[in-house]
Amino acid sequence: MHLAYPAVLAVLLFCTGLYGVLARRNAILVLMSVELMLNAVNLNLVAFDVWLRDTLHSGQALTLFTIAIAAAEIGIGLAIVLLVYRNRGSSDIDRLRDLAERPDGADADGTPQPDTQAEATA
Amino acid sequence: MTLTTTAVLVPLLPFLGAVAGLLLGRRTPGFVRPLAVLPTLAAAGLTVAVAVGQGGGPATDVATRLTPTGSIPIDLALHIDGFAALIAVLVGVVATCVQIYSTGYLRDDPRYPSYAALVSLFTAAMLLVVYTGDLMVLLVGWEVMGICSYFLVGHYWETETARAASLKAFLVTKLGDVPFLFGIFALAADTGTFRITGILGSVVNRGLDHPTLIALLLLAGVAGKSAQFPLHTWLPDAMAGPTPVSALIHAATMVAAGIYVVARLLPVFAASAAALVVMAVIAAITMVGSGLAALAQDDIKRVLAYSTVGQLGYMLGALAVGDRGAAVFHLLAHGAFKALLFLGAGVIIHAAGTNSLAAMSRMSGLSRRIPDAYWTVTVALLALAAIPPFAGFFSKEAVLGAAEHAATGAAHGIPGAAGWTVLVSGLLTALLTAAYAARLWLLAFKGRGVEAPDLPQALNSVRAGETPSPQPVVMNAVLWVLFVPTVALGLSAPLLPEWFDGRSLAPTLTTSVVGTGIAVVGGLVTYATWRHTTALAARTPIGAVVVDPDAAPGLAEETAIATHAPVYGDNAGAADPADPGRLLLGPLHRHAAVGFHLDAVYSALFVRPVRAAATLVRFLDREVVDTYVRGAGTAPRWLGAAVRRAQTGNVQTYLGALLAGSLVLAIAAVLVATGTGA
């Protein structure tokens, strides 16, 4: 099989994931898009490993690492999203902006934002 | 003990006493007085032992290498000749008297422990200066004296006068010390040693490369320390310190250090005729100017201070005509009678409750209240005016005789001009000295008016029926101790030459007759003027005394100094038409009272430019430098405000920016790698 097929597939997967990360509003979908990007990388690793005929198969070994790390990452990520949803009743990335710099230090004054209100009631 | 051990102990004992006093003074008040008096007393005894052991014979030189410096080594050296031995005796005796006097004078002073320790430290430094044979070690003692003088003049630092005076004394003497240091370096560079014996040997054998420059540099330091024109202005102001300090530092010892150094290094000065003439002119200006100024002062201690300046002028004049024997003789005699005068003035101020002569002249019976001070001060004033047979007569005639010797061209290598300058100004000053001495005596003791205030009665457990002891006994006892040399030191004139250079110090007939005659004329003229003006005194009531009569002596003086300006209008003079000095000086009086405006000149020359420069520096600092500093803060803050707008809190925006950045970087890297973009 020519190298171009897996490479193009990997690019398509990565771009889809990138679009999802940048454009989706739901945090779970963003996490899923991250998984897509990771898998695009995995695909590349395996494809190039085969193409280069690496005797140690370091590409495949690295892929296993990536999968393990991705599993851990998605576990923690989903837990965080779950907690955020429980606290705020929403997992919209757009509305989770407590870390924004407000002009004139308004955050220090304690002017209540919608999100922080939700946090306070939780 | 060998002579060397004894001589080493002499400066060491007061030094250890000072250290112990400073360490223990606060915790163990009972030890303060013994710690102050006993080491000084022991040192005085040892100085006598050293003098006896030295016995006017050849100089003793001992040295140990203190530190190799790479070029000219510094030695811990002792050089004890007749000059050093006798001056050390004077220092020891006067310091002991002052310490004993202070136990009475400052007995209620809360700062007495530190005061006594500083006086001890000062004594140690002066003895070090006297005994040392190395100029660098001498400089150490010289500067320690300077700083002790600063602290002691500022003893009453609650008063504005004392604070200003101590700063002035320190700054003016330092102004002279800087050229002095350069002079020592130049001298060492020319002769290759800091040892005085080595320097003098080198001057005799090879001569100096820059004799005039070195002599003038050293002379600046001497003028600062010994209060010679134009650096004398600190001394009258330094009278804001306690009276014992004035007696010790500003009459008998510290100001004598400058004269002593010139006497030690006289061959260096004599190598340059120009330097001798400059010395003679400085001495002449100092003598005459201070005599005129002393006639116009109202504060009794300021009269004595200007008198000290004038007598130091005599000594410098004697050195300018190359006779250090006469100079040191006058130094010894003056040290004795001027210390007596100052300590007596302390008693008078305490008894009268004021330091103003104008107030004392409206007070009768002062002499009956303090008979001890009256008699001793009277004799000391006669000695000051050089009336035979007291000490001042012999020493002053020795100076005048030396000047006449030089003026007639009999002295080898001394310019006749220097001799004439010193002789003429010396005779003129004898007139002025007698005049101000007479004025002081008449105003202080022969006043007419209300009775002098009663002396404090409740001092040392006075019981009913006993004679009240109005003043601490020690204060009066010390006066009588100093009375002995004041009267009798002149008799030693035939014995002294073998201690000094061997030149006779006996008065010659011409100068004795002329000098004494002039002094008597000065005294009589003042008396006549006083008789004339004293009628005016009754019409002008001025004698306000604001001091509590029960106050301790030190406190009384502090109050008197602090209130002199508000009560009499000025620190120096008083607007008193009954003052004979006013009539004698005529239009000069106004200028003489303020020291011939020298302070105003200094103010215009130094103080105001420095103030203007300080204003400029403040402007540069506040308006220019600070602008940059504030700008350095403001610019990042604005930048930060701009960047902060990008922080929306939306993670996706951040990631988008990250992606865009990575893309730009990746494209740039690819372009660079392929070489197309470069």
B668: pLDDT strictly greater than 60: yes
Question: Residue B655 and residue A22: Cβ atoms within 8 Å?
Answer: yes
Search chain A and give the residue with CA nearest B657: A22
Residues of A in Cβ contact (< 8 Å) with B655? 21-22
B241 contacts B156 by C-beta, under 8 angstroms = yes
Q: What percent of chain B has pLDDT over 90?
A: 10
Q: CA separation (Å) from B62 to B4, B65, B257, B437?
A: 7, 10, 21, 44
Helix (H, G, I), strand (E, B) or coil at B77: strand
Could you give the CA distance from residue B133 to residue B208 in angstroms, rounded to a whole number? 19
Q: Is B241 exposed, middle or buried (0-12, 13-18, 19+ CB in 10 A)?
A: buried
Average pLDDT over residues B526-531: 85
What the block records as the tokens of B658 is 């990250």
Domain count, chain A: 1
Question: Residue B650 and residue A103: Cβ atoms within 8 Å?
Answer: no
A104 in any annotated domain: no
* Phi–psi pair at B411, nearest 5 degrees: -90, 135
Whether A86 has its CB under 8 Å from any CB of chain B: the answer is: no
In this complex, which of B647, B649, B656 lies closest to A22 when CB atoms are compared? B656
Classify residue B409 as left (phi > 0), alpha (psi -120 to 50) or beta: left
What ipTM does the predicted assembly reach?
0.75
Q: How far is B639 from chain A (nearest CA, A)?
A: 14
B164 contacts B292 by C-beta, under 8 angstroms = no
Could you give the CA distance from residue B101 to residue B92 in angstroms, rounded to a whole number? 14
Question: How many CB pairs (< 8 A) connect A and B?
Answer: 31
Which one, of B259, B223, B260, B204, lies nearest residue B83 by Cα?
B260
Average pLDDT over residues B177-204: 88
Q: How far is A16 from chain B (nearest CA, A)?
A: 14
Residues of A in Cβ contact (< 8 Å) with B659? 18, 22
In this complex, which of A93, A101, A103 lies closest to B651 when CB atoms are compared? A93
A103 in any annotated domain: no
The boundaries of the domain holding residue A80 are: 4-98+111-121
A105 in any annotated domain: no
What the block records as the tokens of B429 is 């000053």
Mutate to test the interface with A, among B639, B648, B650 (most CBs of A within 10 A): B650
Say which DSSP state B456 is in: P
In this complex, which of B645, B649, B655 lies closest to A99 when CB atoms are compared? B649
Whether A74 has its CB under 8 Å from any CB of chain B: the answer is: no
What the block records as the tokens of B317 is 């004049």
pLDDT value of position B542: 60
Residues of B in Cβ contact (< 8 Å) with A93? 650-652
What the block records as the tokens of B124 is 């140690």
pLDDT tens, residue order, chain A (122 aa): 788 999 999 999 999 999 999 988 889 999 999 999 999 999 999 999 999 988 888 999 999 999 999 999 999 999 999 999 999 888 888 888 777 776 655 544 444 444 444 444 44
User: Tens digit of pLDDT for each residue in B406-439?
Assistant: 888 777 777 878 888 888 898 889 888 998 888 8
Whether B644 has its CB under 8 Å from any CB of chain A: the answer is: yes
Average pLDDT over residues B636-640: 91
Q: How many CB atoms lie within 10 A of CB A114?
A: 10
Partners of residue A26 on adjacent β-strands: A92
CATH number at residue A74: 1.10.287.3510
